[in-house]
Amino acid sequence: LELGELDTPVATVDLDAVERNIARMQDYCDEHGLAFRPHVKTHKLPAIAHMQLAAGAVGITCQKLGEAEVMQAAGIRDILLSFPLVGPAKAERLAALAGEAELSVAADSAAVANGLSEALARAGVEVGFLVELDGVFERSGVQSPEEAAELAELVDGLPGLRFDGLMTYPTTEETGPQVRAAIDAVRARGLEVRRVSSGGTPTFFTNHEVPEITEVRAGTYVYGDRTCIANGTVPFDDCALRIRATVVSRPTADRAILDCGSKTLTNDAVEDPAGGDGHGLIVEYPDARLHTLHEEHGFVDLSACAERPEICDVVTIVPNHACAVTNLHDEVAVHRGGRVVGFWPVAARGKLR
């Protein structure tokens, strides 16, 4: 079966490109003595997680407990849950999972630490804890070295939790000073910081500049997208996730309508100003502008194109944001050189809790 025989719209994954992307990031980490812990939020596929581990990753990162449950069920043992787990239902599930896998969690509050500790202690299991430091996005995370130290000290005294170190995101010029100040404050309370986890695809290759970082997380690099092309982390040829779509209408000379809208591509913009506007790069018609998406319609302006697609033609799209796109697809058609080698269910898709 060749890609050209697939009905559209369809999400396709180039396994050769995935392997190149995995090798590029793993090589960097190996060269700099960094542990690599890929984030599965991008692919949500057990098979690719296993490829990442086989290449040398120390474990994986999950954003949702439901993702971790899928990955553990697929035989993966070392999992960091990087999103704060709140409430008794999730604490119970974490405790159950901790009996089957080596888990760590990150959070920024006593409330979350206390809630997890209770359930974990009752189950007689232990989970590593990373204190989250806020980064340039001003998202979650403690706001000062003192807050970090205070939470570390609390966690150190809580049954079921083991203070392991610090987590932040993404790695920027501020990360080094911030991490060093937090380490100093934690050490001043007599605690050891064994692990400092940072990451993000856009600044991936700067992690070695902060010697305190021990572990790097990244997700998007494995597929690449227009944002990755723009920030230079994944070249166009290695953008592994692409959407094949059909021209279903050519109402005017300058307009084509594709069978991929926001329910196939999302409305996410390219996150880098150099990445261009619109909703995706049309590989065969780089001068075409996919300027508007309705739920199922993709609006293409062809006015700048010398060659133009006909109705019923199929085109290939590199999406703006791979992680969001994969989340819309129940399965991906996996191929090597255009030959389909499988249809993989996106097993951790839709695991919102």
Pick 115 or 165: Cβ nearer a second copy: 115
Pick 311 or 341: Cβ nearer a second copy: 311
Nearest to 298 by CA among 322, 281, 275, 321: 281
Pick 30 or 296: Cβ nearer a second copy: 296
Pick 139 or 187: Cβ nearer a second copy: 139
Nearest distance in Å: CB 235, a second copy: 24
Interface residue list for a second copy (CB under 8 A): 7-10, 41, 63-64, 83-84, 86-87, 89-90, 107-109, 111-112, 115, 134, 137-143, 246-252, 255, 257, 259, 262-264, 266-269, 294-297, 299, 311-312, 323-324, 327-330, 350, 352-353
Nearest distance in Å: CB 33, a second copy: 29
Nearest distance in Å: CB 9, a second copy: 5
Pick 31 or 138: Cβ nearer a second copy: 138
Nearest distance in Å: CB 237, a second copy: 26
